Amino acid sequence: MTFLGETGPGPFYLPPTVWFCTPKQRSVDGFLVTDEYGSCTVDPQKAEIIAPLFNRQQHWYRAIHPGETVYILGQLTTLSRHYTDTDKRQATLHLLADWKKDHVEMLHRFDKNGNGKIDQHELMVARQAAEVVVDNNHDHEYRQSASHIVEQTTDGRPFIISSIPPDKLLKRYSFWMVAHIVTWLALSVLALLLG
């Protein structure tokens, strides 16, 4: 996986790339893309990648270079751990068990009637305090930046990565569509005339 400012491994004759494809090799490393909303990792393994064809030292290859603008059609997934009620309960009990190991501190914090024991009401207060600590820790973790990944869709829609702007792609595909239609018509007429 490559990260911001890094390039993926490739043949010695290539300039720095984040993705490349040669007749013998295609990179499968993920790479990081960044825009005004943040950054995410792109997993190109199952993508249709549209990139210009280059020639260097008599070798043909397609590549996406660092700093290039890419256009991606895929599924964005946020990878963050979902915190369940069971997770919270277990974390609270674990923290409470840790506090109980230091009996003197436990009495100092929660023995409000000063009898040298933690009764049921004081244990309930300790548990509520542990829940607050667990909630605060969870809130802090939740506020941390999540990991995002763009990958193949799960519903069969195309997964496309392109370093060619969409308007240029549209012109290119329009040209080839017209060329195929004209060729098909010409061959159809020729077949009728010869048939």
Q: For residue 61, what are the β-bridge partners?
A: 54
Question: Do 95 and 61 lie in a common domain?
Answer: no
Residue 14 has pLDDT above 50, yes or no: yes
Query: Is residue 185 one of the residues assigned to a domain?
Result: no
Q: Label residues 8-31 b or e (16+ Cβ within 10 Å = b).
A: bebeeebeebbbbbbeeeebebbb
Query: How much is the pLDDT for 82?
Result: 58
The domain of 154 spans 19-79+147-164
Residue 194 has pLDDT above 60, yes or no: yes
Q: For residue 50, what are the β-bridge partners?
A: 162
Question: Do 30 and 71 lie in a common domain?
Answer: yes
Compute the average pLDDT of residues 89-103: 86
Cβ 30 vs Cβ 44: under 8 Å: yes
Query: Is residue 104 one of the residues assigned to a domain?
Result: yes
Query: Is residue 117 one of the residues assigned to a domain?
Result: yes
pTM summary value: 0.53
Query: How much is the pLDDT for 91?
Result: 85
Domain total in the chain = 2
Question: Do 154 and 67 lie in a common domain?
Answer: yes
Nearest CA among 40, 50, 47, 29 for reference residue 157: 47
Compute the average pLDDT of residues 147-156: 83
Cβ 28 vs Cβ 1: under 8 Å: no
Compute the average pLDDT of residues 162-172: 82
